[in-house]
Amino acid sequence: MCVGEDRVIIKCESGSFRLHAPRRFGSASLLVGKEYISLTQYDMDYLVRVFRIIQQQLRDYIIALPDVLSFMSSLLTSTSYIEPAPNASKNIDYPPLYEVLVTFV
């Protein structure tokens, strides 16, 4: 990463990723492979907020994984929908999950 008075350049070791963000313009140029994307400050702020939401969702799903595995194992011995345990994660919508899983069982 190179930081100067008027610009910030980040370059990945592989050379396939490059970000150029001049401080005075409030924009960034992103080069990934052969694709070029221009981002405004608003775009970058929006992406940071979206990344935080995705990070939170992934954390919730990782925490819920044992509950989902328990729910899936109970389906292997059942022929109808079974309510998840009362202490199961509330971040998972179990009825639609059941509908998807029964197509594989």
25 and 46 fall within a common domain: no
Q: Which pLDDT belongs to residue 1?
A: 42
The number of folded domains in the chain is 2
105 and 78 fall within a common domain: yes
Task: Tell me which residue of 17, 35, 19 sits closest to 27, measured CA to CA.
Answer: 19
> pLDDT class for 13, splitting at 50, 70, 90?
very low
6 and 57 fall within a common domain: no
29 and 49 fall within a common domain: no
55 and 24 fall within a common domain: no
**Mean pLDDT, the chain, integer:** 80
22 and 50 fall within a common domain: no
pLDDT digits (tens, 9 = 90+) for 51-99: 999 999 999 999 999 999 999 888 888 888 889 989 999 989 999 999 8
What range does the domain containing 13 cover? 1-33
More confident residue, 56 or 29: 56
4 and 52 fall within a common domain: no
The pTM of the full predicted model, rounded to 2 decimals, is: 0.59
54 and 12 fall within a common domain: no
**Residue 12 φ then ψ, to 5°:** -70, 150
Mean pLDDT value across residues 22-45: 78
52 and 9 fall within a common domain: no
Buried b (16+ CB within 10 A) or exposed e, 76-102: eeeeeeeebeeebbeebebeeebeeee
User: How far, in Å, are 16, 21, 27, 28, 85 from residue 39 at the CA level?
Assistant: 18, 9, 6, 5, 46
